[in-house]
A = this chain, B = another copy of it.
Amino acid sequence: MDLLVVGSMAFDDLETPFGKETNVVGGAATYIGYAASYCTDDIGIVSVVGGDFPQEVMDDLNSRGVDTEGVQIKVNEKSFFWSGRYHLDMNSRDTLDTQLNVLATFDPRVPQSYRNAKYLLLGNLTPTVQQQVIEQMTTRPKLVAMDTMNFWMNAMPTELAHTISMVDMLLVNDEEARQLSGEYSLVKAARKIQAMGPKYLVIKKGEHGALLFCQDQLFFAPALPLEEVFDPTGAGDTFAGGMLGYLAKADDLSFDTMKRAIIYGSALASFCVEKFGTARLKALMPSQIEQRLQEFSSLVSY
């Protein structure tokens, strides 16, 4: 298996300055799965859903080479639910409601056929759940990447630090990098975070792009200035999924490949925000992706 993904599969109620939609299928693993499927058709998901999660989404993912054997279905329970409202500045949002439901007791089980996956992406989840997945791998993946968020920095700092020490790559946003390191300068923050374990650090800055710290090398991936950001939900997961999908397909961890991978993730994320939920992300043609990659290239070439 090229890529194993762990993360939520969920429903979101979303409110943006452009409209409101309820019961939108989302969750980190959903976005990551769709994004990575543009690079490889050898992906597995470990997750948990309730009886309410649509079988069509599973079927759709399966048809793209995303295996869902690792998705536990608890028929008498409800899927994870999140509701949020975005402001005009789409970098900030208010959480209106969070219902853990099946995630409250999530005991991840990695199917036998997933345990030799070459690349592992731990979507934002309880750090202990992320650890359990790493521990179930038979062979150490070539790269273990991990997303997390400020919530875990406050709620479980010790467990989080332990999980971070086990991974090769950490993905956080700029505020989270500052909180985690206690440093305002992102250059200093990166140095401290890398000293906690991860050789590679990706600092996501939303509409301001992303920084990639590879040992002592630095790369900046711009975000494409967009006419309209319709719904930023899932953009970070799409970015991570595109990046890891690209790396898993290339099966190479050179700095050059890492750079192309982060640009690829940025390109997919730039599509994701154009419609609510996964609508835009799951309807991409290879030629559209190629054209967007060209736009990224000309945006910064001189």
Which residues from chain A sit less than 8 Å from chain B, CB to CB? 88-89, 184-188, 205, 208-209, 211, 218-220, 222, 225-229, 256, 259-260, 263, 299-300, 302
Contact = CB atoms under 8 A, between A and B. Distances in A.
B299 A226 contact: no
Top-8 shortest CB links A-B = A259-B302, A208-B208, A300-B300, A220-B222, A187-B227, A220-B299, A187-B225, A88-B184
Given A205-B208, A222-B222, A227 B188 contact: yes
A201 to B, nearest CB: 12
Contact of A228 (B185, B205, B211): B185
Contacts of A263: 302
8 contacts: A88-B184, A185-B226, A186-B225, A208-B209, A219-B299, A256-B302, A259-B302, A300-B300
A229 B302 contact: no
Contacts of A208: 205, 208-209
Contact of A302 (B209, B260, B302): B260
Contacts of A226: 185, 187
Given A220-B222, A220-B225, 20 more contacts: A88-B184, A89-B184, A185-B225, A185-B226, A185-B228, A186-B225, A187-B225, A187-B227, A205-B208, A208-B208, A208-B209, A209-B209, A211-B225, A218-B225, A218-B299, A219-B300, A220-B300, A222-B222, A256-B302, A260-B302
B299 A229 contact: no
A256 B301 CA distance: 9
A279 to B, nearest CB: 20
A256 B298 CA distance: 11
A88 B113 CA distance: 49
Contacts of A220: 222, 225, 299-300
Nearest to A205: B208
Contacts of A187: 225-227
A250 to B, nearest CB: 13
Contacts of A227: 185, 187-188
Contacts of A229: 185
A86 to B, nearest CB: 12
Contacts of A228: 185
Nearest to A257: B302
Nearest to A227: B187
Contacts of A211: 225
Nearest to A223: B220
A228 B186 CA distance: 9
A175 to B, nearest CB: 11
A78 to B, nearest CB: 36
Nearest to A190: B225
A302 B219 contact: yes
